[in-house]
Amino acid sequence: MNKLRIGVLGVSGHFLKRIVLPLAHSKEVTFTAIASRNIEKAKSTASRYFIEKHYDSYEKLLADPNIDAIFIPLPNHMHLEWIKKCINAKKHVLCEKPLTMNNDEMIELRSFMQGKEYQLMEAFMYRFHPKWIEAKKLIDQHYIGDVTTIHTIFSYNNHDASNIRNIKEYGGGALMDIGCYAINTARFILNKAPLRVSSLITTHKTFKTDTITSAILDFGDSRALFTVSTTSFPQQEVKIYGTEGTLTITIPFNDISELEGKLLFENNETKKIIKIAKTNQYLLMFDEFAKAIKYKKEMPISIEDSAQNMRVIDAIFASAKSNSWVMVD
């Protein structure tokens, strides 16, 4: 099999800023086509980034028999619809997070995917970065003893009413956009789902999206605490506390590929910086997605993994509404 031929639905800023250029170096995938309802936008993007084909509709791109898989960077409220259309068009799918708007949609998606030949993966790019793989290995080897708690902060400051992250009907807000990372990383490190959650949410007076969301995830013998915000000074850090030390992942999500990755270890005796070679996590993610298809393996991030994350998101919204602890279904 040659390179996996990928079509892209929409000319998103995320795709242009973080993905299209790094993927030019991939040995596993190539962007073959891009579609936009604005044909001039699709044409200029294809020309600028040497993408072979461009289309003025998503349906025309899906009908192209020379495309193997689809990347979906569309707004959250469009994910379920276009995942289904891509799978029905016999294309594999890599879709931006979260896959659905809520757990009811996730149940519908899981039912739809049963028995399907074509595969689906949620694009949690951080999971492929060597610094996270190394952090997971160190935790599993009890490098800091038993994990007692995980603290995460992730924020940015965006007051643009036209930005999809500030449009509630599009699945905007802090929890869906960046809180999903705080949930996913805690589950990844602890290798299990939380039993219950408690949360506090600040809602924008105009946008009606959550602008500051804080939550406690109770894992039984450990817990995770996080705050995410769309109206705070940009910041991100994950710190894992154990019985024998701490491990901090610096720039845990929006990694800067031109810089070495860093893990900070500290205990009673020493402070240590663990350096990780420079890499691009999006390139690694797309390559692993392609290899799973090429070698007919399960996707590195399963739909059950994605479903667990969505159940926690729903529980956090429910907790804030009821002002009480909510069990994770």
Residue 290 and residue 171 share a domain: no
140-195: per-residue pLDDT in tens?
999 999 999 999 999 999 999 999 999 999 999 999 999 999 999 999 999 999 99
Q: What are 114-119's contacts with CB under 8 Å, separation 24+? A: 116/87, 117/90, 118/86, 118/87, 118/90, 118/91, 118/92, 118/93, 119/92, 119/93, 119/292, 119/293, 119/299
Q: What is the pLDDT of residue 329?
A: 83
Residues 136 and 271 in one domain: yes
Pair (71, 211) in one structural domain: no
Looking at the structure, tell me whether residues 142 and 239 fall in a common domain.
yes
Q: How far apart are CA 14 and CA 36, in angstroms?
A: 15
- Percent pLDDT > 90 in the chain is 99
Its pTM stands at: 0.96
The pLDDT-based confidence of 287 (bands split at 50, 70, 90) is very high
What are the tens digits of pLDDT across the range 20-72? 999 999 999 999 999 999 999 999 999 999 999 999 999 999 999 999 999 99
Q: How many helices (H) and strands (E) does the chain have?
A: 10, 15
Q: In terms of domains, do 242 and 143 share one?
A: yes
CATH number, residue 267: 3.30.360.10
- The contacts of residue 127 (CB under 8 Å, 6+ apart) are 184, 188, 285, 300, 301
Cα 264 from Cα 135, distance rounded (Å): 10
127-137 mean pLDDT: 98
Whole-number pLDDT of residue 324? 98
Is residue 27 domain-shared with residue 139, that is, in the same domain? no
* 105 three-class SS: helix
Query: Are 316 and 169 contained in the same domain?
Result: yes
Domain with 11, as residue range(s), is: 4-125+284-297
Residue-wise pLDDT for 250-267, tens only, equals: 999 999 999 999 999 999
DSSP, collapsed to helix, strand or coil, labels residue 50 as coil
Mean pLDDT across 86-95: 98
Look over the chain and give the mean of its residue pLDDT values, rounded to a whole number. Answer: 97
For residue 1, is pLDDT > 90? no
